[in-house]
Every structure is written in structure tokens, then in C-alpha cells.
Amino acid sequence: MFEKEKPRYATRQIASNVSVEIQVLLWTIIDNQRNNQEPLDYLQMFHLQRISDMQMITNKQEQPPMEMVVRLDLKESQPIDTTIWIIDDGSHCIMLFPNEY
């Protein structure tokens, strides 16, 4: 699941409203979990919160249950408050807002 060579896409809404820096960070979180051989669910949920000038990212999945929190200083963009899903449907991966599902 979430193999790096699998095609990765972002919806138009993501491309328009989420900086490339944040998009890359979310893909990197998934890649790091894969590299650590952690079991990944097909649906990865990311809750992004602005904490002062920092970006807090809470990554959750349902099966197996997992929650991880990361706090980062962004170099090129401003922190945002939103929720983003990344789904692996078997043939490709897509980053989208929950209301786009």
C-alpha cells in the first residue's frame, strides 16, 4: 500500500488551496511510515492546525489504529487549518479534501 512508484495525484482543490510544501510533507509522512514497515490503511487522514507560526499535523488511520502528531516550521508557506485525506485505491493514490470524496 502507498508504494512510491504508484501514481500520485492531488485534486484541483488541493492544488489550489494547499501549498506544494505541505503536500510534499504529507507524502513524506506516508513514505517514512512505509520505509519503517508500519502497516498502513488505505485511508490516511491528516488534520492540519496552525499553532502560532508552526504547522501541527495529526495523522490518523482506522486499521490498524494509529495516531501520530508532527509539529513543523514551514520554510516556504504559511500554516493552515484543514483536513486532508490521502487514499490508496490499489492503482493510484490521491490527495483530496473529505468533501470531495
Q: Are strands 82-88 and 43-51 parallel, antiparallel or unpaired?
A: antiparallel
pLDDT in tens, 10-59: 999 999 999 999 999 999 999 999 999 999 999 999 999 999 899 999 99
Q: At 32, list the grid cell.
A: 517514512
CA torsion angle 89 94 96 98 (round to 10)? 10
**What pLDDT score does 4 carry?**
83
CB 22 within 8 A of CB 55: yes
Report d(CA 83, CA 55) in Å as an integer: 13
10 phi and psi angles, rounded to 5 deg = -130, 140
All domains in the chain, ordered by first residue: 8-100 (3.10.450.150)
